A and B are shown apart, each in its own frame.
Chain A
Amino acid sequence: MKDFGFTITKDRQIDYDQHDHRLLQFVLENEPSFQACISCGGCTATCSAGNLIDFNIRKLNMLLRRGETEGLEKEINKCMLCGKCMLVCPRGINTRNVILKIKEAIQKFR
């Protein structure tokens, strides 16, 4: 293939129809409270890991909802499971179980 000195830029667009939604289905089935997320970001704000690095649990959950699971594993592994997010969630989402289920789903659908 010819080298033009540039490559075709990868789309930043979330192409909802091209994604694998099995992970999301698995998490929702096993922790239905995740449905109620309103993306307020309280979890991220209190997150022990998030205060040290660019670890955004709200955004990760959001991307999971959109089927954007690439890179999810690397990110979710930064969670220390301390549970602060669960204590601040205004919608009473069982955030720790959401994370455990994401981890489980990653193993399952690898």
Chain B
Amino acid sequence: MTKKVAIIGGGIAGMEAASVLSRMDIEVLLIEKRQQLGGHVGEWDHLFPNFRPASEITRSLLNALQNNNIKICANTVVTGIARKAGLFEVKTNQNQNFKVDGILLATGFDLFDAHKKEEYGYGIYENVITSADLEKKLKGGNVLTTASGCVPKRIAMIHCVGSRDEKAGYFHCSRVCCITAVKQAIEIRQKLPNVEIFCFYMDLRMYGKGFEEIYREAQEKWGIQFVRGRLSEAGENIDGGLQIKSEDTLSGRPLKMIVDMIVLMVGMVPAESTSQMAKMLGIHLSGDGFIAHDDVHFGSNITNVPGIFTAGTITSPMTISDTIADARSAALKICEYIA
């Protein structure tokens, strides 16, 4: 008899795991709360480190889902999961009731709500946007302008917004924001060659393959400046410009400058659904609010509840490459379990 797996979350982790499992002759239910698959990546324009269009990723993942073993349930939210006779019974808001052998949680992350950093004035100052907003603007293909329609002359990119910040409630590093800032800064410079860009960082964590190289390119080729210091506060000027204050820690002096636009590099935080799901299933969370693995080295994809597995950013912030790798290993783990 064919085995059946429910994958909750149709972002790139869920999609990749679904396609791998389906090729191993396992029936997959891919449950996505929204109309579209692709998750956050679907809303992104281009990707680091090679400026590849994000749509290429989602398209190729979607193509791999064209398979008889996969059933996609869009606009579907899981309302309950119960264990019955070694199987899981999954109930949804569409009044469906599925019996599956294993469950893969791939519900991903939420972007940090930048409103919470009140002193940065997101939602109040016209020219404060988030990295996700910027990505939407870039995707729209329009010229980047300030709220008053002018071409910005100076832009500040603020790293670690909602990451590594006890005051924002999150201690963890979101891993992808540093490199995203570099990527976005380069993209802005490509579109607006006369704009000055300052990245305000706490530490630069260019850990991935090719990251350091584009960081260097950002400095050398695009003249992007990096200031080590956290933004303390932003204030709006009489002409809509933004006055920002930080310490230039490497000069050991406070720094003030007027910029035309601020881009807040919002981090990855646990999705709201993660804690609900964890509660419902009795899965452990780690201190950062993401799903925990009991063994830090061997425990990836495995939860404390047998039969329930994880893939992607439900367990910690990840890049796309890491997410894909994690989804593949999750497929392997789940396969071992149901075999």
Contacts and interface: CB of A to CB of B under 8 A. Distances in A.
A12 B253 contact: yes
Contact of B255 (A13, A33, A58): A13
Contacts of A38: 226
Contact of A12 (B245, B250, B254): B254
Interface stretch (A62-70, A76-84, A101-109): A62-70
Interface SS of chain B: strand
B219 A35 contact: yes
Interface residues of A, number: 22
A56 B224 CA distance: 24
B238 to A, nearest CB: 14
Contacts of B220: 32-33, 35-36
Contacts of B216: 36, 91
A35 to B, nearest CB: 5
Interface in B172-222: 216, 219-220
A13 B216 CA distance: 28
A59 B225 CA distance: 16
B258 interface: yes
A14 B223 contact: no
B124 interface: no
Contacts of A28: 223
A66 B258 contact: no
B251 A13 contact: no
A54 interface: no
A81 B240 CA distance: 46
Contact of B250 (A15, A33, A36, A39): A39
B225 A65 contact: yes
Interface in B217-260: 219-220, 223, 225-226, 228, 245, 248, 250-258
A15 to B, nearest CB: 5
Interface of B: 216, 219-220, 223, 225-226, 228, 245, 248, 250-258
Q: What are the 4 closest A-B residue pairs judged by CB atoms, nearest first?
A: A16-B257, A13-B254, A14-B255, A39-B250
Given A13-B253, A15-B256, 14 more contacts: A12-B254, A13-B245, A14-B253, A14-B254, A14-B256, A16-B258, A33-B220, A38-B226, A58-B250, A59-B250, A59-B251, A59-B252, A65-B225, A91-B216
